[in-house]
Structure 1
Amino acid sequence: MKHKAVILGNNYYIGLSTIRCLGIEGVHTVAVDYSEEDRYGAASKYCSEKVIVPHYKKEPNAFIQALIEYAKNQEEKPVLIPCHDSYLEAIDAHLDQLKEYYLLPQTQQGLATQVINKDTLHALALEKGIKVPESVSIDDENLREIVNEKIHFPCLVKPVDSPSFMRVFRTKIFKVYNMNELDEAVLKAKEANLDVFIQRIIPGFDDHMYTFDAYLNQDSKVTHWTTAQKLRQYPINFGASVYTIQRYVPELYEVGSKFLEAIQYKGFGEIEFKKDAETGDFYLIEINARITNFNHLLYKVGLNFPYITYRELIGDPLPPKAIKATTNRAFWYAYEDILAVKGYLKTKQLSFGQVFKSFFRPKAYAIWSWKDPKPLLVFLKSRIGKLSRFKQGGRDHAS
């Protein structure tokens, strides 16, 4: 295949999974990163080429120029696939430039940023009649009254820009239990120059989190889709998937496809929903506008979304497909699930028996593959090295 696939961000298992999904189909894969550190995705045998570029945030213009220069030297336009929100934002900000040199699913500049921005996403969802958790701006003059009467404690202090918030605080949200804690959380965000808002917690354990995973073609029509249910997250309660199963939930197709098609979305998208334990209603929580954490699970159940993307963009689309049955296959990121399980047991949200029984399912592993073992070895070497440096630093400090 003459069109190469340029994968941005290979220091996480999303990039690794994307490389595998494309490489196994014979696509020339190009791992693009700003550093060699933790670059275990590029260690895959399915990685055809490795490129280092300037940092997307520290040198954004140089980063974009490096991508353009690379594309100019190719026989055909490469397909560009970001595997992290920060790369997605950088691409969206320079979409008009990049689409001259790359094949990209999204053609409307600003839409990707709009759907990953919590503030604009919720406004968009309300406009289209989709339920979202009740929220209030920190600048609302009736903030305290609204929190006490409609939001209630505990509640969430959530970022408008999740990637920036994660970089600063290493957590997705602040959970607060009273007005003093709320004030402290808001002050922290203000001091970091980050916009936040207050949101109601939808009742229900982590297994009330569901996803609608879909691909929309250039006519903004859903062509491929499935649904999934999270069982465990890390950090617990408000983190990323570490143990998720594919489960058929037809209601999510009705809500999810209607919304994504209405906003003229294109390419792969994942809507996260939470099912209210008291009412049974599904609330839209967020959208991942890039390949998802449990992409390998989706591949295992029959939906190779990176390849679906690639084939449509080169003008040779795959036939439509939907998984309308529960396979019960599980995505498992063992490294963080161990930490999650420890947290669930400590807080008595799960019992040892519940955790033990959950493992008796066919699995899709985040990093491990019998056919491609090297990325796991590189990952483990990196983690052992970091642990050694941490311990050495502790001894040096003590002395």
Structure 2
Amino acid sequence: MKTDHKAVVLGCNYYIGLSIIRCLGQQGIHVTGVHYQEEGAYAFKSKYLSERVIAPHHEKEAEQFKNFLIAYAKKQTHKPVLYPTADPFVLLIDKYFDELKEYYLFNQTQKGFWSDIIDKDKLYLLAAEHNVRVPKSFSTDDEHLIEKVESELGYPCIIKPFDSSTFVSTFRRKLFKINNREELLEKLEAVKEKNIDVAVQQLIQGFDDHMYTFDAYLNQDAKVTHWLTAQKQRQYPINFGASVYIKQTHVPELAEIGIPFLEGIGYKGFAEIEFKKDEQTGEYYLIEINARTTNFNQMLAELGFNMPLLAYKELTGQPIGEQTLEETTGYGFHYMYEDLHATRAYLASKQLSVGQIAKTYTDKRVGAIWDRKDPRPGFAYLGVLLGKVKKKLF
């Protein structure tokens, strides 16, 4: 395999970046990690990282960050391949699309496409155009909003942002669950004060194991070449959070929905569609699309689907072939730290029992951070946790 092009990973304080570094570095690719500070950037400690770079803050100093990336690329003999690890990085690439495309390789070829995918309102319009089922939503601009919510959605319902990253950074949660009119009015006022665009949305019924994912890679012709599916078991925050324990489960119906939709909208690169299965009707609803590497990327790689490597090979002109996983392996991904918080909440709310949770600890799975072949990030992360404990105590 040719490895002339460097891989540049944006964001090194989260295990998604660490997983990308490992997926590429293990293949002999020069991986450059970019972060705004050393503190907390435990992925910097990976033995598979070739170069550590401190850059301006990608949100507080976006223009300077973009200029920094371009200056770095200009020094290279080959265009680097660019990897965003979180939505803010995806949006930044989209914002400076034309400038960055001149100096970097990345999958998308249409400016604004990723931003439209992340924007829930625009995504749901796209889904409706392609006959993909989505939860019913109402805009906060609707003058009869309260009446429509109570007559057509009912309680509980949810308030969901169009821009998840801004909402999460403001309220420290992905959405608001609304149980009555009083809560609806209170939370609508809260998002209005912060000037965050949201919609009031139907809550699809079902426990967290009714959440599924369709994970796929689409080539530069917008054709699905690789795919598999997974089923969430636990998430944090519970009921409306990210996967802390998920297992590979083959669900062919998700491919029947996901493949024509992604190809129909001209998607390129890695995509993860999150679906929720209605416990009453059995119908699958599209919830969102992750336009960056998934948090359980290491599980996909262990199953033979090294999505970062696929992007690297295709963008540097190397064949990638085709692959699907059409069986259930039950192999899992486990982020133990957040799962401990989730477990406490599941037990307190009586949604799961000790026995149900304990049984899953015998499953074959991969962890989010610890790897005995690359232990330093794990020790560094432990240091981060101890620092948090110290700060709380003193």
Say whether 1:235 aligns with 2:237.
yes
- TM-score calculated relative to the size of structure 1: 0.97
Q: Which residue, out of 164, 167, 172, partners 2:166?
A: 164
- Determine the structure 1 residue equivalent to 2:92: 90
Q: Where do 1:243-254 residues align within 5 Å?
A: 243-254=245-256
The correspondence for 2:6, drawn from 1, 4, 14, is 4
Is residue 368 of structure 1 aligned with residue 367 of structure 2?
A: no
Superposed CA offset, 1:36-93 (max 9, x none): 2210111110000011111111111111110000000001000000001000100011
- 1:284-324 per-position Cα deviation (integer Å, ceiling 9, x unaligned): 00010000000001011110000011000000022111111
CA–CA distance in structure 1, aligned partners of residues 22 and 153 of structure 2: 44
Q: CA offsets per residue over residues 244-281 of structure 1, 9 Å max, x none?
A: 00111111111111111111010001000000000000
Structure 2 counterpart of 1:84, which letter? A
**For the residues of structure 2 that align with 1:256 and 1:223, how far apart are their CA atoms?**
13
- What is the letter of the counterpart of residue 262 of structure 1? G
Structure 1 segments (4+ residues) deviating >3 Å: none
1-side partners of 2:307 and 2:370: how far apart?
A: 19
Q: Give the equivalent residue in structure 2 for 1:267.
A: 269
- Using the TM superposition, give the Cα deviation of residue 149 of structure 1 relative to its aligned residue in structure 2, in angstroms: 1.5
Choose which of 372, 381, 387 in structure 1 pairs with 2:389: 387
Give the aligned partner of residue 62 of structure 1: 64
Q: Partner of 2:104 in structure 1?
A: 102
What are structure 1's unaligned runs of at least 5 residues? Answer: 393-399
Q: Distance in 2 between matches of 1:102 and 1:141?
A: 46
Aligned partner of residue 44 in structure 2, secondary structure: helix
**For 2:37 and 2:124, how far apart are their aligned partners in 1?**
35
How far, CA to CA, are the matches of 1:154 and 1:63 in structure 2? 42
Aligned-partner residue type, residue 289 of structure 1: A
In the alignment, the residues of structure 2 paired with residue 318 and residue 264 of structure 1 have an alpha-carbon distance, to the nearest angstrom, of: 19
- For 1:90 and 1:96, the matched residues in 2 are separated by 11
Counterpart position of 2:55? 53
What SS does structure 2 have at the residue aligned with 1:238?
coil
Once residues 209 and 222 of structure 1 are traced to their aligned partners in structure 2, the CA distance between those partners, rounded to angstroms, is 22
Partner of 1:135: 137
**In the TM superposition, what is the alpha-carbon distance from 1:10 to its structure 2 partner?**
1.0
Give the structure 2 partner of residue 330 of structure 1. Answer: 332
Equivalent residue number for residue 220 of structure 2: 218
Q: What do the CA deviations read for 1:154-189 (whole angstroms, capped 9, x no partner)?
A: 110111100000111110001111111111101111
**Structure 2-normalised TM-score?**
0.98
Amino acid across the alignment from 2:194? A
In terms of mean alpha carbon deviation, does 224-233 or 142-151 score higher? 142-151
Per the TM alignment, residue 357 of structure 1 is displaced from its structure 2 partner at its CA by 1.2
Amino acid corresponding to residue 348 of structure 1 in structure 2: K
Alignment-derived partner of residue 396 in structure 1: none
Shift of 1:383: 1.1
Deviation at 1:242, TM superposition (A): 0.1
How many residues are treated as equivalent by the alignment?
Answer: 392
> Could you say what secondary structure the match of 2:111 adopts?
coil
Letter matched to residue 173 of structure 1: L
Decide which moves more: 348-357 or 15-24. 348-357
Once residues 365 and 351 of structure 2 are traced to their aligned partners in structure 1, the CA distance between those partners, rounded to angstroms, is 23
Letter matched to residue 314 of structure 1: T
Counterpart residue number, 2:195? 193
**1:6-57 CA distances to partner (integer Å, 9 max, x unpaired)?**
0001100000000000001111000001122210111110000011111111
Q: Which amino acid aligns with 1:277?
A: E
Per-residue deviation, 1:146: 1.3
> Which amino acid counterpart does residue 311 of structure 1 have in structure 2?
K
Deviations 1:323-348 (A, max 9, x none): 11111001000000011011111101
Aligned residue in 1 for 2:177 = 175
Deviation at 1:141, TM superposition (A): 1.6
Moved more, 69-78 or 53-62: 53-62
Matched with 1:277 is 279
Separation in structure 1 between the aligned mates of residue 333 and residue 99 of structure 2, nearest angstrom:
36
What runs of 5+ residues in structure 2 fail to find an aligned partner? none
**For 2:387 and 2:211, how far apart are their aligned partners in 1?**
35
TM-superposed CA distance for 1:373, in Å, is 0.6
1:314 aligns with 2:316: yes
CA distance in structure 2 between the aligned counterparts of 1:176 and 1:280, rounded to whole angstroms: 23
